[in-house]
Amino acid sequence: MTIDATDRKILAALQSDAALSLADLGKQVGLSTTPCWRRIQRLEQEGYIRKRVVLLDRARLNVDVTVFVAVRTSNHSAEWLEKFRNVVAGIPEVVDLYRLSGEIDYLLRVVIPDIKAYDAFYRKLIERIELQDVSSMFAMEEMKSTTEIPLSYAVSS
């Protein structure tokens, strides 16, 4: 499974605007609609495109505070990890969860409206699973945030 330059153009265009009409997308990448549609179908079937989503305005939806929550645990069993994963999956304020190397075990990105909401999130988290240490870092300014990934590393055919 490799992609070519035209596939990269399709992926770049869809990352920028997934609502593009098939005709407009085809024009951008130099294909008629049917071959363009077939390529999109193949890219989806091969897993290059996981899903198409709409990005919402967090400020308009009153969740414009971003908190990075660093979690350390003394329990590293598979059972604990599965429980932690399930607990976090059930908390909608958590939009990203990463398992890390180093001194911090997990990093969560949480979106909330204010400190009171963060306190409610924190209480919910610690009620559902035992943690060794939790520290929070409130983002003061979002300087770059994108869902677009670099395509220059994709394997070419």
CATH number at residue 96: 3.30.70.920
Please give the helix or strand (H or E) that residue 28 lies within, else none: helix 22-29
- Which whole number is the average pLDDT over 100-118? 97
- Compute the average pLDDT of residues 95-116: 97
- Quick: pLDDT tens for 13-63: 999 999 999 999 999 999 999 999 999 999 999 999 999 999 999 999 999
Give the pLDDT mean for 105-115: 98
Q: Is 102 a domain residue? A: yes
- 99 pLDDT above the threshold of 90: yes
Mean pLDDT of the chain: 96
Q: In what order do the strands lie in the sheet with 106-112?
A: 94-99, 106-112, 65-72, 133-138
Residue 137: pLDDT over 70: yes
What is the mean pLDDT of the segment spanning 145-151? 94
Phi, psi of 99 (to 5 degrees): -95, 130
**Is 11 a domain residue?**
yes
- CATH number of the domain within which 17 lies: 1.10.10.10
Q: Which domain holds residue 29?
A: 5-45
- Residues 76 and 14 placed together within one structural domain of the fold: no
Kindly state the DSSP code that residue 29 receives in the 8-state scheme: H
The CA–CA distances, whole Å, from 23 to 18, 66, 97, 149 equal 13, 38, 37, 24
Q: Look at residue 72 and tell me whether its pLDDT is greater than 80.
A: yes
pLDDT at 157: 64
Section 93-99 average pLDDT: 98
Over 90: is that where the pLDDT of 79 sits?
Answer: yes
